[in-house]
Structure formats: structure tokens, C-alpha cells
Chains A and B, each alone.
Chain A
Amino acid sequence: MTTNINGALDRLIRKYGLPPGEIIDAEHSPAIRTHGGEFALLPWRVERRFIELKNLIDNNTLEHVSTLRFASITAGGDLLRQVARELDLATWLAGSPVASLFAACSGRAAANLIVKLESGIRLSIECCNRLPAGRETIDRHKIIARRGVASDRVVDTQVPQSSIYAFTHKGDARHTDTDAELFGLSEPATALVRAAFAVLRDPALGAEWNTAAAASQRLIEAMIQSDATSAVVSLQGKKTT
């Protein structure tokens, strides 16, 4: 995967005249190595669906956000990274750090969190990694406000939709392609390359993402503590974003 994505990144670097960079540890803790150092990659922040959800908040299409309801169900993978992603996504979308959280976990297979952001917004996160091997991730991100509800899932559906459905003698298949410049890469790989591209275009973003990644790690430690003690863990006074 790393060769594939770095090849794609190189093409963008050449096309747009950017400084060199290399994606490392793509499978676990992806980062980009540049002449300026190593920077954590937060690829969800460059996914178009999340950019548009953030636009809906920032442009006041939604007014007075009350609650975020996030869910993510994967086929295997590290539950803690999965929760960290959702926590980072929430604090970035809402523009507010975490004040406190209460977590109930089933080992490293499932986690259910209720989180209070410093802005007062409440957040629920439902994560599980017990989908059968090979199944695509099922996730959902809903923003509930006094004026308007937004979601990356269309009404009356429970699972992600695709751009193309193929029903053929070889069986069923689904395809979603969102980026013609990176055509051929999977959705996760596309987001990873776009994240690296974003850091190369805006070096200040790299430092910002390193800070955010460290904050997410502190939130995961708080989640583990909350689950172990069955207690609300306060983050106030601790820097989380």
C-alpha cells in the first residue's frame, strides 16, 4: 500500500510543484516525513464528506449545534485508533475540546462513549470492530442542531451508499470514486494521500495535526481510565486540542 500511495503522492508533488515528502507507517499511525520533520496525518479531516459537514457548521447552515452522534463499525483493526479518529473528528467539526467523558468498553472490541465538549455540545461515539473480515466499514456522523440536522448518511438508510453498484455473474460489487486525480486508489488511500498533500501545501498544518494527534492520545487514556473506574473523567485543565 505504501508504495502505491507514495507513487500517487509523488505525482501530485510533481504536478503542483510541492516540496518532497514520504508517507510512512500507512497501516498503523500514518505520518508524512518531510524536510521539516514528521507530521501525523489525520486523513478524515480531508475527506470531502467531513469538509462539507464542517462547512455546514462554519457557514451557519446549522445553527446552535446541540449533539453529535457518531458511529463506526469495522472489520477488525485497533479499537483505540478507531475511537481516537472519531474523537478528533468531533472536536475538529465542533471547534471545541473535550471537557469530560464517560466510556463503557468491551475489551478492545467495542466502546460506547458519552462526551461533553467545552462548548457544551454532547457527543456520543459507538465503535465496534467485529464486522466479518473483508466487510467495508459502516459509519455514520450526524450533527443535530436547533436549526437543522446534517448527516453523511441519507435518510432511511443504515449503511453507507456507493456511487456504483455492480450486479453481475461474478457477484455483487460496489465502487465509490471521489477523486479523479487519484483515480484507482481506494477511499482510505485517497484520503491518506490528500492528507499528505495538504501538509505539503501548508506546512503549518503539520504542526497543528501533531498537536491534535497528541490530544487524541490523551483522550484515549481518559477513555481507558473511565472504563476501568466506571467514572466520569474530566479533561478540563488538561490540554486536549
Chain B
Amino acid sequence: MKPVKIAMVSLTHGHTRKYYQTLNENRKLDWVASCAEDAAARDVYDLYKTGVPCYLSAEEMLDKHPDIEAVVLASANNRHLEQVRFFSARGIDILSMKIPTFDMEEYDEMIARCDEAGIICQVELELHYNPVVLRLKKLLEEGAVGKILSVQATNITLSPAWAFSWQGNPEASFGKRVPLRPGDPRFRGGALCDHPHVFDMIRWLTGSDFDYLFADVAPNLRPDLEVEDMLLVNGKMKDGTTFLFDPSWSRLEERLKVPGPGWEVFPKRMEVNITVSGEDGVLVSDCFGPNVYHNGAPNDRYTVQYTYFDEWIGLIDEFVDCVRNRTQPRINLKWHRQTIRAMNACYESISLLAPARLA
């Protein structure tokens, strides 16, 4: 299959580093250009010495590389709509970061523009390609625990806000400045916005959708952030499955400008653990473990050295297949819409101090 000529834009998302490796190594892709959000993003990009030309204007990039077929939108959440408008108008396929937008009018405009342009838009929810999740899904489909009764999941990380400042900025992350609740000095746009995976996973594993959710925020671990960093969510799915999620930034970090070794303070900087209880038993799973462990340089702290992050192989396989065969990916804008609605409902619940029901 002919490699897809691909570009990456903005370069300000936390997953950008992963794409440097993916776009370079995956033979199904021909990485031809990048476009940085600003000079600062380009300076960081230059550190990685990719050898791929980097521009500061998408127009200039497309002028120089008119053969670009697809783009990775590695940008702040509040840049996505404008970029979808720009690239869909030019018939360029899109690999979107995990939060297209929290504004449902904007979201629906994105769907409409992609449909009208006939382009592919895949949402990057890489856990669908994680081998532990594949096993979990298979076990559930085989009836290992019978009817699912309850799901508990963590999606906890350090805070990327010091390296990717938009993630601590309410406008850039959530799209606008909305107080968490009356009297609370914090705003929407923190840890919740970084962690859609568990909301997505429960829909995929149960085949059901959210009925209602209750969410509450705890005192911040990082009082100098103006967005939430600790929260809990529980509720019920329409099929009766009850759940409890922890989508917090509950692992502290060194405040590095460029992520690298020694970023984590807690040994494991990122965890997605899923427990599924059914009528016939229980499955407990760690989607990123086991690993190897050390207490060496740079900080001599006990640290998890992750042994697998291969989700991007399956993700890109699907994207390239969809681009070449003009089929829609499983994880597309329409699929993901209910997940974004559920996350918005969490903020509504936090604001009202009451559960929020999804119609």
C-alpha cells in the first residue's frame, strides 16, 4: 500500500513526542512536513532533529507540499475547530487529538464539515489498540464474568501543564473560562479534559451509554493551577452498570519545560487500571503493566520504566487503511460525541453539586 503523505501541525500537544517516533518509523506513512504553532513550539521541535521541514504557517506548508494527504492535529483543544475548517476545506484527512472540542455546537460543525468534505477524521483514542484492553474486551465478549455489574477505572497521570501550558489554561483546554462552581476559584479545563479514555472505554466494553453521572472535585494538589487536578466520577450506564472513575492528575511531577527522564515524582507517571465485576466473577487489569523498575539517574527515585507503548501501530494501521480505502475509522467523531457529552456532564455535576443525567 502506498504510504500516506502526512504532516503534523501545532506540535503543542502532549502526544507530539510520540508522533515524532511514529511518523518516522511507521512505513505506512511518509512524514513530509510539520507546522509549529509558534516559534517556541518550533524551538522544541528542533531539539528532536527529525529532519522534517517545519513551517509557521499551514498555508506555506501546503504551498510547499501540495501532496500532503493527511494531518495530525497535535494542538490545543481550542485550535481544533479552526484547523478542521482549514484542512477539511482542502480535502485533507485528519487524525484528531482525543478532545476535538467541548463545545457541542463546534463539535457538530466538525462532523458536518468532515461529512461534507468526504474526509476521514479519526479520533486518537489509543487504548483501543492496547493489547491488554484487547484481552479484556475478548474476555468480556466470551462471558468470563457474565453480565457486567460494575466498572471501576483509573486514568491518572502527572500534570502535563508545565510542559504544555495550554493544558492548564481554561480557554485553551476547555474552550472558554467557566468557573467550576460558584465560589470556587478554579475553572474547567484541567485533569478531566486530559482523560477521556475511561469514559470511552466503558462505552466500548459494555456497549451501553451513560445514564447519569456524579462528579466532585477535591482540593488541588497544585494550588497554583487555575484548573482542577483532582476529581472523582461515579454513576450508572443505561444498562444498569454502575461505575467509578478517577481521572485525576494525582501523580506529582517535576515541572519540566520539555518532558524527559526524571519527569515523574511518583514511580508510575501514568496508570489506566480497569476492574470489571460481573455476576460470575471479577477481572482486574493494568493496561500499562507490568514493566521494569529502577532508581537510577537523574533523580535516584524508584521509577517505572514502561515496556510497551505500541498502541500507535494499530492506530496508524487503521488510519492508513481508512485513508486508502475511504472507510470511516471505528473511533470517529460521531462515536466520540457521547463521550464528550459525558465529560461535559461531569462539569455540570461539579457545578450543581448534583448528578447530571444524559438525555
A166 near B295: Cβ-Cβ < 8 Å: no
Encode A64-85 as 1/0 by CB contact (under 8 A) with B: 0000000000000000000000
A222 within 8 A of B: no
**Nearest CB on A from B183, distance (A):** 43
A150 near B135: Cβ-Cβ < 8 Å: no
B292 near A164: Cβ-Cβ < 8 Å: no
Interface size on B, residues (CB 8 A): 39
Encode B264-299 as 1/0 by CB contact (under 8 A) with A: 000000000000000011111111011111111100
**Nearest CB on A from B30, distance (A):** 15
**Nearest CB on B from A144, distance (A):** 11
B53 within 8 A of A: no
Query: What residues of chain B lie closer than 8 Å to A176, measured between beta carbons?
Result: 290
B240 within 8 A of A: no
Bound-state Cα–Cα, A69 to B264, Å: 27
B308 near A151: Cβ-Cβ < 8 Å: no
**Nearest CB on A from B142, distance (A):** 10
Query: What residues of chain B lie closer than 8 Å to A60, measured between beta carbons?
Result: 297
B281 near A147: Cβ-Cβ < 8 Å: no
Q: Which of B60-68, B204-212, B310-318, B341-349 contacts A (4 or more CB under 8 A)?
A: B310-318
B305 near A180: Cβ-Cβ < 8 Å: no
Tell me the nearest residue of chain A to B279, going by C-beta.
Answer: A169
Instruction: Given A163-B287, A177-B132, check contact A48 B308 (CB 8 Å).
Output: yes
Q: Which of A24-32, A49-57, A102-110, A120-128 contacts B (4 or more CB under 8 A)?
A: A49-57
Tell me the nearest residue of chain B to A16, going by C-beta.
Answer: B27
Bound-state Cα–Cα, A147 to B145, Å: 45
Bound-state Cα–Cα, A48 to B310, Å: 11
Instruction: Given A155-B302, A166-B281, check contact A183 B131 (CB 8 Å).
Output: yes
**Nearest CB on A from B228, distance (A):** 30
B281 near A150: Cβ-Cβ < 8 Å: no
B292 near A49: Cβ-Cβ < 8 Å: yes
Bound-state Cα–Cα, A177 to B311, Å: 12
Closest 6 CB pairs of A and B: A148-B296, A168-B281, A150-B294, A177-B131, A61-B296, A48-B307
Can you list 25 A-B contacts with CB-CB less than 8 angstroms, sorted by A residue number?
A: A16-B27, A52-B305, A61-B261, A145-B296, A147-B296, A148-B297, A149-B294, A150-B293, A152-B290, A154-B291, A163-B289, A164-B132, A164-B136, A164-B283, A166-B144, A167-B281, A168-B144, A175-B132, A179-B310, A180-B130, A180-B134, A180-B313, A180-B314, A181-B310, A181-B313
State the A residues within 8 Å of B (CB). Answer: 16-17, 48-49, 51-53, 55-56, 60-63, 145, 147-155, 160-170, 175-181, 183
